[in-house]
Structures are given as structure tokens and as C-alpha cells.
A and B are shown apart, each in its own frame.
Chain A
Amino acid sequence: MAPSRSSRNSLQSVDLRALDYLASPSANLLCPICHSPLITPVQTRCLHTFCSACISLSLERSLTCPVDRKDLSHDDVTPAPIMIANLVNDLVVLCPNREKGCEASCARWLVESHVREDCGYAMVKCAKEGCDGMVARKDVDEDCVHEAVECEFCEFAVRKLDLESHLRECPKLSSECPHCAEPFLNPELSIHIADCPAEIIDCPASHFGCPYTCPRSEVDNHTGSCHFIALTPILQLHTERITTLELENKTIRQKLELLIPPRPLPTPSSSSSNPQDSSTNTGSSSTTRDMTSEMQDYTYHLYSEYEQLRSDVERLNAQIRELDVKQDMARINEGLRYNDEMTGMRAAINGLRMQLHWLVASRRDAPTPNSGGAGGAANRVGAGSSTNDGRRMSDSARQIVKL
């Protein structure tokens, strides 16, 4: 009996597009039109996938594919592969009655039957015969809440369902003012609360920092002497200017972020390069101090890097100079050595030249090779030296020259 009664349900269909998903679904499973996981997925001739309802609506307005604008007709749309449909139907969704208190979650294809048959927070027809009201399924076995009952104070007929909220504002009932504890009839209470003289209120300039509070009836005594109220116009002006500047600052920061890539964080060694500065700014608020010290850290980091680079360059300069000197020395030494060698060579060449001269001269003085022996012999004989040996010696000398 119970199931057949509770299966009567006004929420015959669940709006699948309004469902919330347990985990955010993959972007590939979203319809490009409704941005929800596909519902009854279909595929176009150009291989794009949409919800069946979405692409039909779109084709009513324009016969093109919404993604690539290619021509498309209703005939070009076919059901998408079953696998895609299964993928989206298996996504886990939260019960649409979650706000009323249902904590159930299930696969999307099961959510309709959950709401229709199981969900205790779905509205079903009231069990009382002849009653057309709706009631949450979990309360269906209670007494009918749609019967009219009379309010015992104002004699006004209200439904049982609404009795509780009625009692809070029944015009014949009075409630206590939360500030002065005096009873007022409900319709008059809100008017009274709005200016109850006993209510403790803040100074009108409390948003500028005045800590003073007092009952409403005494606030006039304070406003006359409050410094904050006296300063209100100028404070107001400053607040407005700060707001404008903050806005401007935000825009500039956005532009800067676009222009400059995020900078590397300063290394710990560089931040300690100038220790006395981290202790100088202690008076300002913590956020600005953080920012300034961060800026300073960064500046010191840059500065130390700059110093390091400068010393590097100096070192390199010195090395280059040293190398220059070394090379000069080497060149001079080499030059000296070459000079010596050249002198030696020159001496050797001179020696050779002398020998050549002597040989040429001796050859010019000698007769032709055939008669040379006789001439030479005659000379030598004439010189009176040992005859045969001398001739032979001159012969052999001539041959050496030839070689």
C-alpha cells in the first residue's frame, strides 16, 4: 500500500540540467551549448557532440554547427556513440532535494527513480482522502497538515502547516522587545524596535573608528563632543580617494603583471647581506612591513648580485692584463732568439759566400778541364812543390765543387 501511495509524485521529471555533480565532470563531456554534461548526446556530420535538445533549439535559429559554423541540417544529426551516453549517464549526481535535506547521491540515470520512489524529501500527494495538498514523502504518514485550524488568539483560520509561522506574527500576540523588555503587539513590534530608545547603538561615526556605544536616547549627548563626527567630511573624502587609488592600483598591477613575468624569490643568502635594515622599519603595519622588507630583500639581492658581477668583471680585467704582459714577454724572448739565430745564419751564409768566392776565383784562374792538368801541373811545378801528389789533390777538389 505504502509504495503505491507514495509513488504519486508531482515532480514527475527531474531537470537534469539543474543537477549538481559529486565531482566536477570532465570538460570533454560538457555540451558546448548548455555547458552541462551531455543529456541524450547526439553527433553532427562534422563530428561535434551536443545534447539533443540543445542542438535542435540551435538549428531552429541557424542551420550551422555552433562550434565550427559549417552548414548543418536536422538530418545531419545522429545519436552519439552509446559509450558517450553511458559515460554521462554514469556520472554521480546529488539529489535535487539536497536543499530540503536529502543527502542521497546516485548515478544520473537513477536520479529520476530516486526522486519518484525513494527520496523522503520529494513532495507527494497528501495521504488524506479528498485533500489536494502536497507533503514531503517522509511526513506522508503523519496527520494531514492541510486542514484548517483556528488560531487560538486571533481566531483566524490557518492551515496546520502554517500554524507555527503564524504564531510568530499573530497580530493578537505580543512579544517582548529584545532591548527594553517591554511587551508589544506583533504588528507594532518591528516599528518599535526600529527606534527603541533603550537599544545600545554605535556612534554614527563608528565606521571611522569611534568605539563609543550608548543607548539610542543618549546618542545626542555624544555626537556634540565626538571628534570622529567632526572629522567625518574629511574622512569621507579620504575614504573615497583611497577607494579610487586602490582601484587604480589594481589596474596598474594587472597591467604590470601582464608586462613583467613573475620575478624569482630572493635567495636567503642575499637577504642576509644587509642585516641592519630588517630591523629599521618596525613601526608600520605588518602587511606594509612585509611588503617593504620583501622589496628591500629584493633590492639587496639585486645589489649583491651587481657587486658580484662587478668583482667578476674586475677579476677578468686583471687576468686579461696579466695575460697581455705574459704574451709581451714571450714575444720579446722569441724575438731575441730569432735575432740570435739570424745573426748565426748570417755568419754561416757569409762563410759560404767566402768559400764560393774562393772557389769561383780559383776556377777562373785555372785552365780548361782537359789542359787543366798540365797547366796546373805547370803552375805547381813552377811553384816548386812535390809534383804528382799536388796535381791529384787539385783534381779531387774540383770534383767536390762540381758535386
Chain B
Amino acid sequence: MALPKRIIKETERLVAEPVPGIQAVPHEDNLRYFDVAIHGPTQSPYEGGVFKLELFLPEDYPMTPPKIRFLTKIYHPNIDRLANWSPALQIRTILLSIQALLGAPNPDDPLANDVAQRWKEDEPGAIATAREWTKTHATP
């Protein structure tokens, strides 16, 4: 099936006007599959890290959300949660949300329960672990 115009437009815009700190490059053989690199926001435990993600646009995108998976190990209570999808959102908004989430972890809406628990009970410790993981796994 031909690639919908919307995906072509979004891809062109992502390449022409990249979001600062976010790189998204489509695979040459499958334009629905993106290699994404997000730089950890400054003044967060993820600062200095570069987090690799894979992003896949399903057949019925934008009616269904893109599928996103972290390839770099990351210590975070709510990573890759994509609730509240709306077809008016787009790849760049979703990547921006992920970047924002790195800057402000929310242990009340957890995906990784053990991480959220630790984040609530011992926040400095959790932040230290996140920083350590960033250093070990996400520093280029």
C-alpha cells in the first residue's frame, strides 16, 4: 500500500525542521519505521544521555498511535505509555511528550511499578540510579 500523504508530510517536516534534541530518521526500506534518538533534558537525571527508540507507524496510523519502544535501557517510572492518543497528534508531538516526560517523571501514573515505588519512597536514590543508568547505557 502506498504511503499516505500525511506520513510523507510529517517525515519531510521532521527532517527539514527537526525538534531540538530529537532526531528521527526513517528506514530507507520501510518508511513507516523510524530510528529515533532523544537527548536527555538538561537538569534531569537523564542529562547527557542519548536514548535510542524505535518508532513504527501502524497501517491505520493516524487513527491508532505510533508504536514506540526504548532501545536504550532507561530507569524511569512511566516510559512508553501512550494513553490518550488522538489522530490530531503527530510524531513530533509524541516525541516531544517523551522528552518532557524524561524531564518530569510522574510516579503516580506508572508503567514500571517497581521503579515508581522506589521513586515514591526514595526519590534521591531513584534519581541517582537513573543518572547512573544514563551514564552506563545512554552515554555515547
A residues whose Cβ falls under 8 Å from a Cβ of B: 17-18, 32-36, 54, 57-58, 60-62, 64, 66-67, 69, 244, 247-248, 251, 254-255, 257-258
CB distance from A254 to the nearest CB of B (A): 6
Task: Check A36 against B87 for contact (C-beta < 8 Å).
Answer: no
**B39 close to chain A: CB less than 8 A:** yes
Bound: A67/B6 CA distance, A: 17
Q: Which residues of B contact A17 (CB under 8 A)?
A: 4-6
In the complex, which of the residues B2, B84, B140 contacts A18, with contact meaning CB atoms closer than 8 Å? B2
Task: Check B63 against A35 for contact (C-beta < 8 Å).
Answer: no
CB distance from B70 to the nearest CB of A (A): 19
Beyond the given A33-B62, A57-B63, A257-B20, could you list 12 further A-B residue pairs with CB under 8 A, ordered by the A residue number? A17-B4, A32-B87, A33-B87, A34-B62, A35-B6, A35-B90, A58-B87, A60-B63, A66-B86, A66-B87, A254-B21, A258-B20
In the complex, which of the residues A57, A69, A244, A248 contacts B86, with contact meaning CB atoms closer than 8 Å? A69
- 26 pairs across A/B with beta carbons < 8 Å? A17-B6, A18-B5, A32-B88, A33-B62, A33-B87, A33-B88, A34-B6, A35-B5, A35-B6, A35-B9, A57-B63, A58-B86, A61-B63, A62-B86, A64-B86, A66-B87, A66-B88, A67-B88, A69-B86, A244-B140, A251-B50, A254-B20, A254-B21, A255-B39, A257-B20, A258-B20
Given contacts A61-B63, A247-B140, A254-B21, contact A54 B5 (CB under 8 A): no
CB distance from B40 to the nearest CB of A (A): 11
**Interface residues of chain B: helix, strand, loop or mixed (majority):** loop
Q: Which residues of B contact A248 (CB under 8 A)?
A: 140
Bound: A209/B11 CA distance, A: 36
For B85, give the chain A residue with the smallest CB separation.
Answer: A62
Bound: A32/B88 CA distance, A: 5
Bound: A48/B74 CA distance, A: 39
**B42 close to chain A: CB less than 8 A:** yes
Task: Check B5 against A34 for contact (C-beta < 8 Å).
Answer: yes
Q: Which residues of A contact B50 (CB under 8 A)?
A: 251
Contact with A along B1-31 (1 / 0, CB 8 A): 0101110011000000000110000000000
CB distance from B36 to the nearest CB of A (A): 15
**Interface residues of chain A: helix, strand, loop or mixed (majority):** helix
B residues whose Cβ falls under 8 Å from a Cβ of A: 2, 4-6, 9-10, 20-21, 39, 42, 50, 62-64, 84, 86-88, 90, 140
CB distance from B29 to the nearest CB of A (A): 21
CB distance from B96 to the nearest CB of A (A): 14
For A247, give the chain B residue with the smallest CB separation.
Answer: B140
Task: Check A255 against B63 for contact (C-beta < 8 Å).
Answer: no
For B90, give the chain A residue with the smallest CB separation.
Answer: A35
Q: Which residues of B contact A33 (CB under 8 A)?
A: 6, 62, 87-88
Task: Check B64 against A61 for contact (C-beta < 8 Å).
Answer: yes
Bound: A35/B92 CA distance, A: 14
For A69, give the chain B residue with the smallest CB separation.
Answer: B86
Bound: A62/B85 CA distance, A: 10
Task: Check B4 against A34 for contact (C-beta < 8 Å).
Answer: yes
In the complex, which of the residues B10, B42, B90 contacts A255, with contact meaning CB atoms closer than 8 Å? B42
CB distance from A108 to the nearest CB of B (A): 14
CB distance from B1 to the nearest CB of A (A): 12
Q: Which 8 A-B pairs have the closest CB atoms?
A: A66-B88, A32-B88, A66-B86, A35-B6, A33-B87, A66-B87, A67-B88, A58-B87
Bound: A58/B86 CA distance, A: 8
CB distance from B87 to the nearest CB of A (A): 5
Q: Which residues of A contact B21 (CB under 8 A)?
A: 254
Bound: A161/B72 CA distance, A: 53
Bound: A258/B9 CA distance, A: 26
CB distance from B95 to the nearest CB of A (A): 15
CB distance from B4 to the nearest CB of A (A): 7
For B60, give the chain A residue with the smallest CB separation.
Answer: A57
For A16, give the chain B residue with the smallest CB separation.
Answer: B5
Q: Which residues of A contact B64 (CB under 8 A)?
A: 61
Q: Which residues of A contact B9 (CB under 8 A)?
A: 35
Bound: A62/B60 CA distance, A: 14
Q: Which of B9, B42, B63, B64 has the most CB of A within 10 A?
A: B63
Q: Which residues of A contact B6 (CB under 8 A)?
A: 17, 33-36
CB distance from A344 to the nearest CB of B (A): 76
Q: Which of B6, B9, B20, B86 has the most CB of A within 10 A?
A: B86
Bound: A336/B100 CA distance, A: 76
Task: Check A35 against B86 for contact (C-beta < 8 Å).
Answer: no
Q: Which residues of B contact A60 (CB under 8 A)?
A: 63
Bound: A254/B20 CA distance, A: 7
Q: Which residues of A contact B86 (CB under 8 A)?
A: 58, 62, 64, 66-67, 69
Q: Which residues of B contact A254 (CB under 8 A)?
A: 20-21, 39
CB distance from B139 to the nearest CB of A (A): 10
Task: Check A58 against B4 for contact (C-beta < 8 Å).
Answer: no
